[in-house]
Amino acid sequence: MSVARLITHNFRNIEGSKTDLHENLNFVIGDNGSGKSSLLESIFFLGHGKSFRTTKLENLAKHGQTKFVVSVKDNLDTQLGVSKDFLENQTEIKIGGEKFNKLSELAKNIAVQIITPESFKLFFGGPKERRKFVDLGLFHVEHSFSQEWKDFSRVLKQRNAGLRTGLSIDKMKYWDEAFCNHSDRVSKLRGEYIEKFKQEFSIWIKLMLPNIESDIELQYLQGWKQNTSLMNVIENNRERELALGYTTSGTHKFDVRFNLNRSPVESQLSRGQQKLFLLALTFAQLKLIEKLNRVKPILLIDDVGAELDTQSRMLLNNAIEKLNCQVIVTAIDKAAILPLVPTNNNYKMFHVKHGKIFEMSE
Ligand SMILES: Nc1ncnc2c1ncn2[C@@H]1O[C@H](COP(=O)(O)OP(=O)(O)OP(=O)(O)O)[C@@H](O)[C@H]1O
Ligand SMILES: [Mg+2]
């Protein structure tokens, strides 16, 4: 889908807004603190039921207010919206006139990805962010994943409780067995997804880093010793896990690593190249979501100017065109986005000023 109209009320510093977006390309410029990231955050919130900058949803309501609303009308005129009332502790979700309670309902209808200046630091900083990235794609393309993951997490919790409380070995064996079964099921889905992802990624990395693309290799680490059954690993680790009180191997510990000439890319690519690399990963995932889920995802790029030179921005421009999804890009000023602006008039430009969003006419 794409957002045809975005309506917000008391979201961060944006008191009220009604913005008609372009179905493909949108630029948002404005000074520091004007509300650009807040605008993206409102769309991100609809897709994820959370923010990319805070875990406290109260922070999203305008200072002094206890309620906020975000809603969109999509390209087919369907309205999706959330209102959060912190005083009443109520969340109201409406999709096409129907009411829902769970924010996860929204994620079924709208797939949103964001890239910020921080996201590549997070991505290369540790496995947690990489796991989140992969599983977001998996969630959108493999509908059984969500349930499989929930079942696995429940068994993991039980097994950890067993390790902590020193459950008898017989009872522990029951949880070992269940844990290995669920871990294998999740791992199988993920392995299949990563295979598809690899193929899509090879297309986008060629576009973004044409000079080094052929030397990049994606390595999927399943979360326990490769080519070994998880049960064997668990049995060998029994003493250690009992001492620690939690499960150290399993599909929850998976990782994806990217190597350039057999060493991690993050130790070799420049900051700008790392950003292009992350863009290629994100584009690959979005395209896969579109192909397999038949939902057109939305890409948000916050503060595009940071780290990308003109040549890199042109590569990005070319990739955005090929992506053919709705994209919203923010920048401090026009100069930062100039290499991204197409020569045709097939885009919209907005200016944010003190929490107010204006469409600019060229
Ligand atoms: N809950 C809130 N209510 C009102 N204002 C808020 C709230 N949370 C943050 N702000 C303020 O909103 C303003 C806009 O923040 P935002 O992060 O969207 O700016 P930005 O345009 O992305 O700036 P930058 O270019 O520095 O990234 C900031 O001045 C911030 O302090
Ligand atoms: Mg910002």
- On whether both 241 and 306 belong to a single domain, the answer is no
Instruction: Give the domain range for residue 339.
Output: 1-111+297-362
**CATH classification at residue 345:** 3.40.50.300
How far from the centroid of its chain's Cα atoms is residue 90's Cα? 25
- The answer to whether position 159 is within a domain reads yes
- The answer to whether position 49 is within a domain reads yes
Output the residue whose Cα is nearest ligand 1's atom 16: 35
Q: In what order do the strands lie in the sheet with 216-221?
A: 216-221, 255-260, 263-264
**CATH classification at residue 210:** 1.20.1050.90
- On whether both 262 and 134 belong to a single domain, the answer is yes
- The answer to whether position 356 is within a domain reads yes
- On whether both 132 and 208 belong to a single domain, the answer is yes
Please give the helix or strand (H or E) that residue 278 lies within, else none: helix 271-293
pLDDT of residue 102: 82
- The answer to whether position 64 is within a domain reads yes
Report residue 3's pLDDT band, with 50, 70 and 90 as the boundaries. Answer: very high
Determine if ligand 1 sits within 6 Å of the CB of residue 62: yes
Q: How do residues 106-161 score in pLDDT, each as one tens digit? A: 888 888 999 998 887 778 888 999 999 999 999 989 989 999 999 999 999 999 99
Q: How many domains does the chain have?
A: 2
Determine if ligand 1 sits within 6 Å of the CB of residue 10: no
What backbone torsions phi and psi does residue 22 show, to the nearest 5 degrees?
-80, 145
- On whether both 170 and 191 belong to a single domain, the answer is yes
Boundary of a domain, candidates 279, 307, 328: 279
Report residue 306's pLDDT band, with 50, 70 and 90 as the boundaries. Answer: low
- On whether both 87 and 183 belong to a single domain, the answer is no
Q: What is the mean pLDDT of residues 31-60?
A: 95
- On whether both 144 and 184 belong to a single domain, the answer is yes
pLDDT beyond 90 at 294: no
**Cα-Cα-Cα-Cα dihedral sign, residues 302, 303, 305, 306:** negative
Output the residue whose Cα is nearest ligand 1's atom 5: 13
pLDDT beyond 70 at 362: no
- On whether both 18 and 92 belong to a single domain, the answer is yes
Q: Please answer whether residues 262 and 215 qualify as being in contact, where contact means their C-beta atoms are separated by less than 8 angstroms.
A: no
Boundary of a domain, candidates 216, 250, 279: 279
From 106-120, 240-254, 342-356, the region with the lowest mean pLDDT: 106-120
pLDDT beyond 70 at 264: yes
Distances from the Cα of 130 to the Cα of 30, 70, 93, 159, 311, angstroms: 31, 28, 29, 25, 27
- The answer to whether position 291 is within a domain reads no
- On whether both 249 and 160 belong to a single domain, the answer is yes
Residue 213 contacts by C-beta under 8 Å, 6 or more apart in sequence?
202, 205, 206
Q: Please answer whether residues 288 and 196 qualify as being in contact, where contact means their C-beta atoms are separated by less than 8 angstroms.
A: yes
Mutate-to-test residue for ligand 1 from 14, 34, 45, 68, highest number of ligand atoms within 8 A of CB: 34
Mutate-to-test residue for ligand 1 from 29, 36, 70, 304, highest number of ligand atoms within 8 A of CB: 36
pTM above 0.85, yes or no: yes
Question: How many A from CA of 13 to the centre of ligand 1?
Answer: 6
